[in-house]
A and B are shown apart, each in its own frame.
Chain A
Amino acid sequence: MRDMMPHFDLYQPDSVAAALELTSRLDEQAWILAGGQDSFDWLKNRTRRTAAVVDLGAIDELKGVRESAGGGLEIGALTTLTDIEAHPLIREKFELLARAAGRVASPQIRNAGTLGGNLCQDTRCWYYRHGVDCYRAGGNICYADTPEGQNREHAILGASRCVAVSPSDTATALTALDASVVLRSRAGERIVPISEFLVGPAINIRAMTTLRPGEILTTVRVPAIWSGAMFYFEKVADRAAWDFALVSIAAAFRMDGKRVADARLVAGAVACVPWRLHAAERAVVGRERSEDSAERAASVAVDGARPLNYNHFKIPLTENLVRRAIRDAQGA
């Protein structure tokens, strides 16, 4: 028994310019590799093949955290999740992101896995991961959304044919922080809000991001808006290590005296993208954080949810996480 790496041409550019030269030339053939923690799962399983891998690991300009002029942060896409969790600037300004990064997978995976890779990883739907011909793989059926489909982990909101959910913990936190991503290509760069970068099946059923062939995610920009706000992050999973969220919540509250001036409540693993709970946000803005406002927000949090056979539990779970976020958020 040997686990073999499949054949592919390996490119190791040492600058973004050299990487873009490669991704531009290789176009759709280029598999972009960051920490490799999701990529090698696909490649070793042989469920996906690629002719060429562009490994960004040697590009130092893609690593590290810098303060931007407006008081926000610019985070290199190749910064490891361990470094995100421990970084003093992130902990000081955006504790929410540090907490989410610290709940990804296991310590060993966080040592190699990167922020950009965590955002771009593919869904964990096991039918899809198994290599079946589902909608997301180009076929015309969703195996999870059938009478016998095993869909305990799947979507209760925002599904469209495919019911897979977003696996990324950091995406949930970055959505709450109104972050953007910088996507560079030889033609220039696009700065895209994370809420538009991550897409559901109604927009593109084959990909979870709007990254185009030839483009590289270079930087995550976190604006100053939520710096030092009150935050809450919780991830509920079957196991404390490795596991992906059954439901997670990322919340930010800016206070005006005792009242909430503005709020973000974002649920992870309930939809194909991190799902902003707009009605719950509206229910708590202008009120004090209390049992009463927590109850109001929870009661409208998942209006319109359409659970599958085995994931009804995600409704009360999401409601309870909203209650806890409002009651227990901490910070400035």
Chain B
Amino acid sequence: MLTINVNGARHELDADPRMPLLWALRDLLKLYGTKYGCGKALCGACIVHLDGRPIHSCVTPLSAVTGGRVTTIEGLSADGTHALQQAWLELDVVQCGYCHSGQLMSAAALLARNAAPNDADIDAAMSGNICRCGTYPRIRSAIHRAAALLRGRARA
């Protein structure tokens, strides 16, 4: 048995420590928000946070996360009201949507350390996420919008 902390909850898993975190999230914990894209850290669909930093869950074995805190798209907000999720809806960012939980997790890590990113900051932070539909301009706009929403909330 090994213990992992996902979205603030401890889970005892009867799993092989070699198992990629991605498959433990999807198959064992039934958290289907995190997607399988390439399996080799080449696309970004599987990005989650480990101790607040975005990583590829497909090349992260369970053994590497037993001491840390994992956050998935399901843990971004309790009810889908994170500023990024709001901005994503407002600007209708998604086309097919497959890559967007990964996109949102990379964007959330960026906004956590930079409240007012410029285009270059966004492009650098999001460079590890591929969108097959090419929604990059809307992703960038939505991150600016979310940053503005967060600044508004901070003032309120």
**Contacts from A to B (Cβ < 8 Å):** 2-3, 5, 8, 10, 12, 36-37, 40-41, 44-45, 53, 55, 57-58, 82, 105-109, 111-112, 240-242
Contacts and interface: CB of A to CB of B under 8 A. Distances in A.
A57 B63 contact: yes
Nearest 8 Cβ contacts at the A-B interface? A106-B128, A241-B127, A3-B39, A108-B128, A40-B59, A111-B53, A5-B18, A108-B54
B128 A5 contact: no
Interface of B: 16-20, 23, 36, 39-42, 44, 47, 50, 53-56, 58-61, 63-64, 67, 106, 123-125, 127-128
B53 A82 contact: yes
A3 B60 CA distance: 13
Interface of chain B, main secondary structure: mixed
Contacts of B127: 106-107, 240-242
A109 B40 CA distance: 11
B128 A112 contact: no
A36 B17 CA distance: 14
Nearest to B48: A108
B124 A107 contact: yes
Contact of B63 (A2, A12, A108, A109): A12
Contacts of B60: 36, 112
Contact of B128 (A8, A53, A57, A109): A109
Nearest to B46: A108
Contacts of B44: 106, 108
Nearest to A6: B18
B20 to A, nearest CB: 6
B63 A5 contact: no
A57 B20 contact: no
Contacts of A5: 16, 18-20, 61
Contacts of B56: 108-109, 112
13 contacts: A3-B20, A5-B16, A10-B17, A12-B17, A36-B61, A40-B41, A44-B40, A107-B106, A107-B124, A108-B44, A108-B54, A111-B55, A112-B56
Contacts of A57: 63-64
Contacts of A112: 55-56, 59-60
Contacts of B23: 2
Contact of A108 (B20, B39, B106): B106
Contacts of A240: 123, 127
A109 B128 CA distance: 8
A2 B36 CA distance: 9
Contacts of B61: 5, 10, 36, 55
With a 10 A CB-CB cut-off, give which of A40, A44, A53 has the most chain B CB atoms.
Answer: A40
